[in-house]
Chains A and B, each alone.
Chain A
Amino acid sequence: MTYTYKLLGNHTDPSLVGKPIEYILRKEDGAWIPKTTANTDYQEYLEWVAAGNTAEAAD
């Protein structure tokens, strides 16, 4: 399966409102990928971007 991704924008929760959500959403399975290079899902996301793909913009 080839995954696609979406940026998540900012939190809406009042205690965090306005702060960026530090994850990328993998659209096909709803996984929240943390922006940390030790995470292999994030490594795959970076490779996907390096291959010329662009994540969907946040709502």
Chain B
Amino acid sequence: MSSQLKVNSISDAAGANGNAITLATDGTCTAKITNNLSNRNLIINGACAVAQYASSSTSAGYKTVDRYKAEGSNTGQTATQSQESLSSSDTGPWEKGFRKYYRLALAATGTANVNAWASMQQRVEAQNIACSGWDYTSASSNITLSFWFRASTNQTFYSYIYAYDGTPKAYTFSFTASGNNTWTKVTKTIPGNSGITVDNDNGAGLQISLIAFAGTNYTNNRTLNTWAAHDGNNYAPDMATTWITTGTPTFDLTGVQLEVGDHATEFEMRSYGDELRRCQRYCYIPTYDSSYGPYAFSYHSSYKAAQEFFPVPMRAIPTPTVTATSGSFTTNYTGASHWKGYIEATGTDIRLIASAKFEAEL
């Protein structure tokens, strides 16, 4: 005995959140499924597991957790960015399988200077946005950003979504935690806009910034939840100074996901190796043991040459920083797939690559 259910749609009992399943007349359906989906996250290293650069740095820029850039200036204190570990006491992200997070911290209570700035960001490659399926010029097509965050002192913070190409446009929204030092999951759905341009190339397409603090040189009265022209003097409404002027300010982030659609799905956990390969399109730092890296081989009585091959083709010709066990390498070629350089060394002198870093970040 068989039975058949013929309906046009299925929604929750209240029916206030749209259809969970919408049936089409051709026998297909569209469903809003939130779990066990893959290849949806446009953010790389969303779980903050990969940190090729270092575990901690007091410099701004790409210095610790791969693909994340921290900026801290004029805060009255040294800003440190770092990769930190979660423990079972980190209720929320721990149960979801996150084990690392990205932190921006000040050394002590900061100063809310007019030119102070403390933020973290990730830039998504333009072609990954262009080909994502998000109809970014349509107000009825959405992307959804979700992330876990925690701040030492809670207040209203802002996120600034910046579209690079054409005439740059930006979208600011606010978020808060449920308390001081409390992990909170934030979900925000963002519509497209007819003024957005995204090139199908290897440049920066979309920047996701989380602003822990911005002084009044950078803030004013920006309207929230709408796309408008980028304004470097008006990233967000004027901010409270609670976070920067209380205790030792910290701002933590993990579980970042940006996906096409009007709702957040469960975070797409990827293996460490998978995430590392994605990161290496933008930065490759080979790991050498105490015997150092590749030999430089003699090809001339006074010079030796060495090469490095990258595990994946890089986004663009990278900036190489290569050191030798003695002396200095001169770079004579860098492509998207390999580097070669030479070093002055005579006869049986041994030269090896002591360290190497290749950066093609956005």
Contact = CB atoms under 8 A, between A and B. Distances in A.
A52 interface: no
Task: Tell me what chain A mostly uses at the interface: helix, strand, loop, or mixed.
Answer: loop
Nearest to B63: A1
Contacts of B321: 29-32
Contacts of A21: 330-332
A23 interface: yes
B362 A15 contact: no
Interface residues of A, number: 22
B202 A32 contact: no
Contacts of A23: 331, 334
Given A1-B59, A13-B300, A41 B319 contact: yes
Interface residues of B, number: 29
B330 A34 contact: no
Interface in A11-59: 11-16, 21, 23, 26, 29-34, 36, 38-42
B320 A41 contact: no
A41 B317 CA distance: 10
A33 B316 CA distance: 12
A36 B357 CA distance: 18
Interface string B272-284: 0000000000000
A11 B340 CA distance: 14
A15 B362 CA distance: 34
A41 B282 CA distance: 12
21 contacts: A1-B59, A11-B332, A12-B344, A13-B300, A13-B342, A14-B302, A14-B303, A15-B300, A21-B330, A30-B323, A31-B321, A31-B357, A31-B359, A32-B319, A32-B321, A32-B331, A38-B203, A38-B316, A40-B316, A41-B359, A42-B319
